[in-house]
Structure 1
Amino acid sequence: MNYAPVPIVMVFAGHDPCGGAGIQADIETLTSLGCHPCTIITALTAQDTSTVKDFIPADATFLVEQARAVLEDMPVAAFKIGMTASVEIIEAIHTLLQDYPEVPVVFDPVMAAGGGGTLARENLIDAFHDLLMPCTSVVTPNTLEAKALCSDADSLDACAQQLMAQGTEYVLITGGHEGSPNIVNRLWGHRQFLEEYQQKRLPGEFHGTGCTLASSIAGYLAHGASMASAVRDAQAYTAKAVAHARRLGMGQLIPDRLSWSANCR
């Protein structure tokens, strides 16, 4: 059987009705990078460009049924995990990942929306540590999420070391939530600090940047890039999308993940 030479990425994430984050951001990002996204909805949310108002987790049993239908039909080249919504969903994703240990996993440990509002009705941190970190190729928390995941750590390096000790190969801690003039992202791997990346902080607040970054890493990995190359290129892609962000609502700006196609519109 001949498969189409398009890398397939399976995404587990929530639905954002304003189209700025979650599944919609993942679809735009992966399509822009020449991948085919297969999307498994973990939750329905009521949110706008300012905040999350409420959410309803998906049924975990049906989530597994959706994913297995695709996995038994299509050659998935990478997984991306965003909003997980419940411990039951984390358990379901863990069960699925056990059958595909060779496929890279990008985990964006979403606990709150960029504009505010929780995306976790219960404490999911223990389940993150026990079930997802051991299956993860790279985890991409921002500084606030890293500190929440590793509350007893006294530095970002200690956070990264703790997460790697739990099984994830690489840790990319992003600095978009800090107040510094430049955004500083840091990458750890193989139990050591590897690289620091800096980019100028643009004015304004943006909706869906974490989703964009994690999905673009997954997209580059699906194309066969090394982790170092995927992380580097994903940051450049995300920065370009943010630089072309548009004000479509009354809250945060939405990155234009298809800005490269402007001349075709």
Structure 2
Amino acid sequence: MLSGLDPSGGAGIQADIQAITSLGGHPLPLLTCLTVQDTNNVYGAEPVNAELIRQQLQRLAADVPIHAIKTGALGNADVVDVLVEFLDSQPELPLIVDPVIKAAGGGDLADEALVQAMKTRLFPRAEMITPNGVELAQLGGSEDPDQAARNLIDAGCQSVLATGGHGTGIHIINTLYNHAPEPMHWEVERVGANEFHGTGCTLAAAIAAGRASGLSARASISQAQNYVHRALLHALNVGKGQRVPDRGILWER
């Protein structure tokens, strides 16, 4: 996976490592950016040199079988170019993209050049993108989730899993849009009234772990949603801000 470093340990690459490990996978973590971050918000970010990431990908691919890739915060557009170039040599590799634009606290994690690079070069290569409500509206150009998702699919996305964690109500509804006539919905009881730190990272990483283990996309979503729900039931009070999913829970597959 390619993700940023959250020094609070709530989101980013640590969330990915913990989720993938809990679901029986072996993570191959590549850092894309360093952030100034706590459990409240993101206050700054600095990208990792894209050429270093290129070399890491090349060395790993020559040494280790890779079964799926998950991305989070990518740092800048140069990293997108490196990743797309790598994916061109791995055309069958499932790619799950968590299109991280803003932190839950409102801090920016992507500039306009990175957003455009994701939309035009990365999304068409992804098997699935997993935007939350705020990201879906911005990326899809509409406040109506159905229209925003359809706009993204019309622009080249294979499928869009619109996540409902930022919404309200007693249930979280995650909706999968693809080229089928009707979207598919997953529903789970909402845990608590407040948002958590790193749920989007955890969900996308868990989906990638499922795909890497050979599960279908739909089965991977179901497993991932159940895993995230359990992690939230045991969430940790790490700092003074948002609670953190307990991704170290024992998982029975």
- Structure 2 length normalisation: TM-score? 0.94
Q: Distance in 1 between matches of 2:102 and 2:34?
A: 14
Could you list the per-position Cα deviations for residues 35-90 of structure 1 after superposition, in whole angstroms to 9, with x for gaps in the alignment? Answer: 01001110011101111111110111111111111011111000001101211111
* C-alpha deviation, 1:172, in angstroms: 0.5
- Name which of 211, 228, 239 aligns with 1:249: 239
Stretch of structure 1 that moved more, 88-97 or 157-166: 157-166
Matched, 1:22 2:16: no
Could you list the per-position Cα deviations for residues 151-188 of structure 1 after superposition, in whole angstroms to 9, with x for gaps in the alignment? Answer: 1x352122222222233322100111112332111111
Q: Distance in 2 between matches of 1:185 and 1:82?
A: 18
Partner in structure 1 of residue 22 of structure 2 = 32
Partner in structure 2 of residue 177 of structure 1 = 166
Stretch of structure 1 that moved more, 206-215 or 189-198: 189-198
Assess if the C-alpha contact under 8 Å between 1:108 and 1:214 holds in 2: yes
Assess if the C-alpha contact under 8 Å between 2:165 and 2:195 holds in 1: no
Q: Distance in 2 between matches of 1:183 and 1:260?
A: 23
Could you list the per-position Cα deviations for residues 9-53 of structure 1 after superposition, in whole angstroms to 9, with x for gaps in the alignment? Answer: xx0100111111000000000000110100111001110111111
Structure with bigger strand share is: 1
* C-alpha deviation, 1:191, in angstroms: 4.5
Partner SS state of residue 80, structure 2: helix
Partner in structure 1 of residue 89 of structure 2 = 99
Partner in structure 2 of residue 235 of structure 1 = 225
Partner in structure 1 of residue 133 of structure 2 = 143
Partner SS state of residue 172, structure 1: strand
Q: Distance in 1 between matches of 2:23 and 2:167?
A: 28
User: Moved runs in structure 1, 4+ residues, more than 4 A?
Assistant: none
Percent of residue pairs identical: 39
Q: Distance in 2 between matches of 1:166 and 1:155?
A: 17
Partner in structure 2 of residue 4 of structure 1 = none
Partner SS state of residue 72, structure 1: helix
Q: Distance in 1 between matches of 2:196 and 2:109?
A: 17
Unmatched tracts of structure 1, length 5 or more: 1-10
Give the total of aligned pairs: 250
Partner in structure 2 of residue 7 of structure 1 = none
Q: Quote the RMSD (CA, aligned, Å).
A: 1.4
* C-alpha deviation, 1:135, in angstroms: 0.6
Matched, 1:76 2:66: yes
- Structure 1 length normalisation: TM-score? 0.90
Stretch of structure 1 that moved more, 172-181 or 212-221: 172-181
Q: Distance in 1 between matches of 2:95 and 2:154?
A: 17
Assess if the C-alpha contact under 8 Å between 1:43 and 1:58 holds in 2: yes
Partner SS state of residue 46, structure 1: strand
Unmatched tracts of structure 2, length 5 or more: none
Partner in structure 1 of residue 190 of structure 2 = 201
In structure 2, relative to structure 1, the CA distance for the partners of 1:236 and 1:118 (3 Å cut) is same
